[in-house]
Homo-oligomer: A and B are copies of this chain.
């Protein structure tokens, strides 16, 4: 059975299993709760094909940082979240300050909940061109990483698959690591813009608002890919199904029948619709700033004592 509830968060897939407390074969879930800042860190580790099939996600590690207070809080709250992003990146890929890194901001700058990727890129400190011009000594004296960045736009704007553009750019510029930033779809309204997922699996097709069909991952790009995603939308069909489901399941229908009913009632028109909050502009601005701060601090070599 195809899972029809749409979510880009591995954590939500894991939660969707009724056997919440038993183990799923091939999938390890570990959790940590930071009481001081009310931040929950979950790690879903999909270890093998069995786990991947069960989860319908690629093999790899998905770290989720949940900070439910984020939208109500002051700037001081950004620092701990940013620190957890840095820690998660380093856990997945080691020290970033010596790599040559290409950061890719996916999404459509013109559609607010999809502008997360481009907005992160706008605040990045790129350095590759400076190092090429002023040399290695300049890099070391200033404790710079080697960072390039691109916001390629979406297929409706370019006529090209994002994979084609990024593949070409990689061939010409030879980065050692790709970090892809994208807006995601979650199942829950509560997670919008308060949750960050970091994974070493690349970005699977069909994320967030966009419709990218070909995955940006190591298999396709030949370089390791870290994905950083933030849910900014809920799929419209999913929100309807979730509510309807709670009603129908009391009457014995299963998830597939519920989706079939929704399709019948709404036809195809709900396929390309998403749900997002009215103040999504502030939310995206805030979280994209936090992510770019985290990246900028990862990329700089620490100063020697």
- Which residues does A use to contact B, with CB under 8 Å? 108, 110-112, 114, 121, 126-130, 147-153, 155-161, 164-165, 167-173, 189-190, 209-211, 234, 236, 239-240, 243-244, 246-248, 261-262, 265-266, 269-270, 272-282
Contact = CB atoms under 8 A, between A and B. Distances in A.
Contacts of A210: 278
A248 B265 CA distance: 13
Contacts of A158: 126, 129, 148-150
Contacts of A266: 189, 243
A223 to B, nearest CB: 13
Nearest to A296: B75
A127 B265 contact: no
Given A189-B269, A276-B274, A157 B168 contact: no
Q: What number of copies of this chain does the assembly contain?
A: 4
Contacts of A152: 150
Which applies to chain A's interface (DSSP): helix, strand, loop or mixed? helix
A285 to B, nearest CB: 8
B171 A171 contact: yes
Contacts of A173: 160, 164, 168
A279 B26 CA distance: 38
Contacts of A129: 155-156, 158-161
Contacts of A114: 278
B157 A149 contact: yes
A270 B269 CA distance: 21
21 contacts: A108-B281, A126-B157, A128-B159, A129-B158, A129-B159, A147-B159, A150-B152, A150-B153, A150-B158, A160-B172, A165-B172, A167-B172, A168-B171, A168-B173, A171-B172, A189-B269, A236-B275, A243-B262, A272-B277, A273-B275, A273-B278
